[in-house]
Amino acid sequence: MHLRAQALVLSVRQHGEHNAVVRCLTREAGLIAGYVRGGRSRAMRPILQPANLVMGEWRARTEDQLAGLTVELVHSRAPLYSEPLATAALEWVTALTAVVLPESQPYPRLYGALDAMLGAIEAAPAARGWAVALARYEDLLLAELGYGVERPPAVSTESGWPEILAALALTGREIEAHLLTDRRAEALAARARLIERLKRAVA
């Protein structure tokens, strides 16, 4: 197995003292995990920040083996982590995507939507510019995994906060009911932090 592709970093789990298992989303191959030697080093931590865009290269002798991964930074979104609201949004969408997608199945629409969502947060960390994109991304994620909302949230850039928060409440219920039903309490906690911060920001 050998793949070289641009990827969005979704999650980083420490392995041993210095290494890490990193889950990334690629347009071509979907969600892929890789083992990064030195992934917890001072030099690598800023590169492996969730939401960053990297050029990854995965190599494994067999399809069943966890691939070794090397990465080069393409675009850093680390500065967004200085903004509490943007941080909450980044933590939620990356954790959600890492937890619910099956590995090695391409979801090009999701990749494009997530990249656009992260770009919207980058362009407007204050939330007015990306809250609608968040509701749409959650709705698309549900649909791509076979759980389309019966009455999807009808929100646009012209929608007010009551409509946006109602749409997020709807997608949140569906995500909790269908995608985060067992061991995924940490991801739900990230969403709870995000919604609480959104409500405080627009109160």
pLDDT tens figures, 146-168: 987 666 567 887 888 999 999 99
What's residue 151's pLDDT?
64
Question: Mean pLDDT throughout 49-71?
Answer: 93
- Whether the model pTM is above 0.85: yes
Which residues are bridge partners to 42 per DSSP? none
The predicted-structure confidence for 91-135, as pLDDT tens digits, reads as follows 999 999 999 999 999 999 999 999 999 999 998 867 877 999 999
Q: What is the model's pLDDT at position 111?
A: 97
d(CA 8, CA 101): 14
Token pair recorded at residue 176: 């909790």
CB atoms within 10 A of CB 154: 10
Give me the pLDDT at residue 95, please: 93
* Confidence band for 71, pLDDT divided at 50, 70 and 90: very high
Name which of 51, 50, 94, 57 is nearest 72 in CA terms.
Answer: 57
By CB atoms closer than 10 A (0-12, 13-18, 19+), residue 145 is middle
pLDDT of residue 11: 95
Residue 146's contacts (CB-CB under 8 Å, 6 or more residues apart) are none
Determine the distance from the C-alpha atom of residue 170 to the mean position of all C-alpha atoms in its chain, rounded to a whole number. Answer: 19
What pLDDT is stored for residue 124 in this prediction?
Answer: 81
Of 16-25, 139-148, 178-187, the one with minimum mean pLDDT is 178-187
Nearest Cα to Cα of residue 64 among 36, 33, 107: 33
Tell me which of 56-70, 74-88, 130-144, 174-188 is least confident: 174-188
